[in-house]
Amino acid sequence: MATILQPSLFSWQDIDACSDLDRLHLVLSVLPDEDLMSLLEQERGKGRNDYPVRVIWNTLLAGIVFQHASIASLRRELLRNAELRQCCGYDLCRGIQAVPPAHVFSRFLASLQRHEEEIRAMFDRLVEELRQALPDLGVNLAVDGKAIDSAGKKSDKVRDGRRDTDADWGTKSYHGQRADGSLWSKVSHWFGYKLHLLIDADYELPVGYSVTKASVNDTTQLLPLLAELKQHHPEIVKQAQTLSGDRGYDSQVNNQQLYDRYQIAPIIDIRHDWKDGETTRPLDPARADVIVYDQDGTLFCVPGLATDQMMALAYDGFEKTRGTLKYRCPAAVYGLDCPERERCGSSAYGRVVRIPLDLNRRRFIPVPRGSYKFTRLYKKRTAVERVNSRLDVSFGFERHFIRGQKKMQVQVGLALVVMLAMALGRIRQGQAKKMRSLIEPAWPRAA
């Protein structure tokens, strides 16, 4: 043993009072869990109370905050860390004998599955408190579906704890084009579930979620998420302006309902489903100077049917009262030479083309896909991918031991509740820049 004799005049607590346990204190100080605790204590009644409900609950939260992938890992930490036991509420006089066996945590998680609504209520309450702390929460929303593998194997047999009879197979396809013009595609498969997550794209904080089987289509989950958000947080939906999503959410119904019902501009990519070789379609074939559009809904002018002179129309804004997209002649706007300029009229303002949204709700949206504004807003969609990455890396969903849909719903709910509680606690401590971090030190310690 290498012995080091280093005399000290001060206690370590006098030099550095900051502890890694402050992150757990931060979560526990703001988490609205009293209703759930009271309900669980009522269910226990006058039964044995060797392991109090609140202690086990705090321990599970500590497992999420300190990134323990399993109950076994969490128990090993409790056995060696007396300060963590004290923070969770264990009786210090009993020492390591106070640490519960693994089956206590399993039974407690099973009881939480019966109270998934209370966990969602905590989530909604935290979202509301964050809305009061961040008045512009929800102005720009983003949505995405996240694949979560099941820890069990597919089986039609009766559930025995090792198999997962709730999960099924999901498939996701990726397509793109290389720099040389060649096309590529990739198809991934997984057995498990899918998390449908609705977040604020500016603060990267979740405001709504649902857990389904892996085979459920993303397109069908967007409107239910918004309907639930409006039910619990009408103020967020009222001030929401945009919602961004990938082409998995592209549908006429989604685009129409987003704008007509919620007044939210859909910033959603479109699936390219035209036949090979078809690049444009005429808007009005009866005219000599054909106005055509591509799959993204971008308009072009083809003077005299000369395709080599095709020019993109100049976007001139969305007319909300008319529900139309306004375009102008590119020759008049940019001062270009056009051989057919006189046929469109001699006005210096140039020809005006108005496209009603109802012409095709998939192709034409209030913010055209060819505009700079759409490109800027669509970049916000990457915020939901970063939240999904944090769930994988920081909250342990990349490597877990969860089987069954009810257990998955509870574990996802707990992770999102901790994420929001950490953000709210950091905001109240004046650490708003660290609101998205689970592992950054918390200072000063929460009361």
Q: What is the DSSP string of 61-127?
A: HHHHHTT-SSHHHHHHHHHH-HHHHHHHT--GGGGGGGSPPHHHHHHHHHHHHTTHHHHHHHHHHHH
For residue 318, is it within any domain? yes
CA dist 49 and 41 (Å) reads 10
CA dist 61 and 84 (Å) reads 12
Q: What is the mean pLDDT of residues 241-265?
A: 96
242-245 and 265-268 strand pairing = parallel
The pLDDT of residue 345 is 65
For residue 291, is it within any domain? yes
The pTM of the full predicted model, rounded to 2 decimals, is 0.90
Task: Please enumerate in sequence order all residues whose Cβ is within 8 A of that of 389, keeping only pairs 6 or more positions apart, or say none.
Answer: none
Residue with tokens 């999960």: 167
For residue 342, is it within any domain? yes
pLDDT tens digits for range 199-212: 999 999 999 999 99
The pLDDT of residue 441 is 84
The pLDDT of residue 440 is 87
Please choose, from the candidates 193, 86, 205, the residue with its C-alpha nearest in 3D space to the C-alpha of residue 138: 205
CA dist 106 and 116 (Å) reads 16
For residue 299, is it within any domain? yes
Range of the domain at 337: 281-364
End-to-end, the C-alpha distance of the chain in Å comes to: 41
Please choose, from the candidates 44, 315, 267, 43, the residue with its C-alpha nearest in 3D space to the C-alpha of residue 141: 267
The pLDDT of residue 281 is 86
Residue 129: is it exposed, middle or buried by C-beta count within 10 angstroms (0-12/13-18/19+)? middle
CA dist 155 and 408 (Å) reads 17
The pLDDT of residue 331 is 84
The pLDDT of residue 412 is 97
Q: What is the mean pLDDT of residues 404-411?
A: 94
The pLDDT of residue 16 is 45
- DSSP designation for 396: S
Task: Please enumerate in sequence order all residues whose Cβ is within 8 A of that of 112, keeping only pairs 6 or more positions apart, or say none.
Answer: 119, 410, 414
Cα Dmax for the chain: 95
For residue 46, is it within any domain? no
CA dist 73 and 112 (Å) reads 20
CA dist 162 and 160 (Å) reads 6
Model confidence at 15: pLDDT above 80: no
Q: What is the mean pLDDT of residues 181-192?
A: 83
pLDDT tens digits for range 336-378: 777 777 777 667 788 889 999 999 999 999 999 989 999 999 9
For residue 107, is it within any domain? no
For residue 378, is it within any domain? no
The pLDDT of residue 12 is 44
Structure tokens, 396: 């342990």
The pLDDT of residue 18 is 59
Structure tokens, 15: 């030099």
Average pLDDT value over all residues in the chain: 88
Model confidence at 261: pLDDT above 50: yes
Domain count across the chain = 1
Describe the crossing of helices 116-133 and 102-113 by its angle, rounded to 10 degrees.
80
At residue 347, what are phi and psi to the nearest 5 degrees? -65, 140
The pLDDT of residue 14 is 47
Share of the chain above pLDDT 70, in %: 89
* Residue 340 burial (CB count, 10 A): 16
Model confidence at 96: pLDDT above 50: yes
Q: Given pLDDT bands bounded at 50, 70 and 90, which one contains residue 36?
A: very high
Q: Given pLDDT bands bounded at 50, 70 and 90, which one contains residue 179?
A: confident
* Residue 105 burial (CB count, 10 A): 20
Structure tokens, 55: 């202690």
CA dist 333 and 344 (Å) reads 14
Model confidence at 159: pLDDT above 80: no
* 364-385 b/e (C-beta count within 10 Å ≥ 16 → b): bbbbbbbeeebeebbebbebbe
The pLDDT of residue 3 is 54
Of 8-17, 171-180, 300-309, 432-441, the least confident: 8-17
The pLDDT of residue 447 is 42
For residue 332, is it within any domain? yes
Length of the chain: 447
Residue 265: is it exposed, middle or buried by C-beta count within 10 angstroms (0-12/13-18/19+)? buried
At residue 57, what are phi and psi to the nearest 5 degrees? -60, -45
CA dist 149 and 400 (Å) reads 9
